Structure 1
Amino acid sequence: MSRNWTERDIPSQRGRVAVITGANTGLGFDTAKALAERGATVVLAVRDAEKGKKAAAKLGANADVTVQELDLAALDSVRAAAADLRGTLPKIDLLINNAGVMYPPRQTTREGFELQFGTNHLGHFAFTGLLLDLLLPVEGSRVVTVASIAHRIRAAIHFDDLQWENSYDRVAAYGQAKLANLMFSYELQRRLAPRGTTAAVAAHPGVARTELMRNSPAVVRAVFPAVAPLFTQSSERGALPILRAATDPAALGGQYYGPDGLGGYRGRPQVVASSPQSYDVAVQRRLWTVSEELTGVKFPVG
């Protein structure tokens, strides 16, 4: 497996259909751009349709791109978006669960879920479950879920208080949500493996310079400009692990891609290890069951 994988190594995507959440800016936009340039039909699944249309225009007149309104913080929007896509797309080759929120003050989704857990994990869990029928018949299809090195930072799945109703710690809550993303990907792969057609792969961008940092604690925002050149990489570079997970013919279900540099902050995209607790099968399965109960979405596998 190449240690110097770059965007130039992406094979032709002509004939493939990619649905990318949060694709109007940052990592999602850079992922969409690379796939569209290689011939994929790309759906930008975004909360703000007008911003999505502006992003689509930036991809150029020759890009085969459409916009789908999707608010991951509202399950009725998730269901409506999935129904729209099921009615318009003949298949999906790539579902890239990229959208997310990071470190906001405590807020809740429309259903009352803590915003980071509800959006980053539960919204994507439901969206994937509702669209999986469009991926299962497609040989080589993939579900790529974007995690974060933050899954190691004060992270655990707090089954006794998943919604942070007793006390709220924005950093720990984000860690829980990103740990949940990884556990979802690993459990999904276990359920997909007998089918042999669709793989679940995870990726993280390192520390990429995107709008996601806007809600960081004040001290982080204060020092960020000074340390950014040492510990961060561009959004375009941050998208490479996602793109490799989605397109490298050698990628396997259950793998986790991220930068190969010290601490995983930056570098070339490679298969990396996640935290020991992320591989806890019992917690993965419990989280899956709870997620089905909270969202009301049952997967057609497992």
Structure 2
Amino acid sequence: MDNVIRSRTPAARVWRLMLHLTLLVAALWYLLPLAVMVLTSIKPLGEIGAGSLLALPENPTLAPWLKAWGSACTGMRCDGVSGYFWNSFAIVIPAVIIATLIGALNGYALTKWRFKGAELVFAMMLFGCFIPFQVILLPMAQTLGWLGLSSSRAGLIFVHVVFGIAFTTLFFRNFYVSIPDELVSAAKLDGAGFFRIFWRILLPVSKPIIVVSVIWQFTQIWNDFLFGVAFSGHDTQPVTVALNNLVNTSTGVKEYNVDMAAAMIAALPTLVVYVLAGKYFVRGLTAGSVKG
């Protein structure tokens, strides 16, 4: 089949055309909900109930976007997601950096500085990837209380770092397995220590897997709702919680255009990350797949 598609015969051109049409239809079908969200978000409220979901707006407006951005919640009423949008960044950025750095150190220690019980430690971390988040809500809440981090940004950062370490360790461990041990052994003979080898040798060649870790962690933390609603306070809620409050606290007529605009604002950072760095994510995943 591949040879037929790659050739320049009439049959190959037909196969290529059919393949492209199939992919185009699949892409359009996949993007249909996004198109509905965008069109609804720029329609006046009166046009939403009067026409089709896919109908183009007769009088497009950015008023729903401005209202969705709005300001922070007041009392039981949420008038926008702007304050919580920046809350999410304040949580995501340090959590991603800390979890990625610790995961890199763990992967390095588990592959290049093996110690007794290293495989058991890695197995326990791997097991942590499969623990349902709902199971640990109560013990984690107690832990945050003991640490004095309840309802704070620092507490949410701590939670995401703890749960991100298992995944980042897995990523870096599998990547570092593919790096020759002789490289580290030669550095040891030259007198380099644990951290010097890590910073001068391992980390500079880790760019592909760092990209994977950053994209994975950014997406997971930004889209998190469970931890955000369980462990945050009124002023520290992430944008996902604010979006839920906005959608579920409307009074009077349901403003679907504002809800769709808020959903687009909340999803925009992850869309930008995947559009700009999606190809590097795939490269990074395959970079450590040679061994281990």
So what's the TM-score if we normalise by structure 1?
0.25
Higher helix share: 2
Higher strand share: 1
Q: Which has more radius of gyration?
A: 2
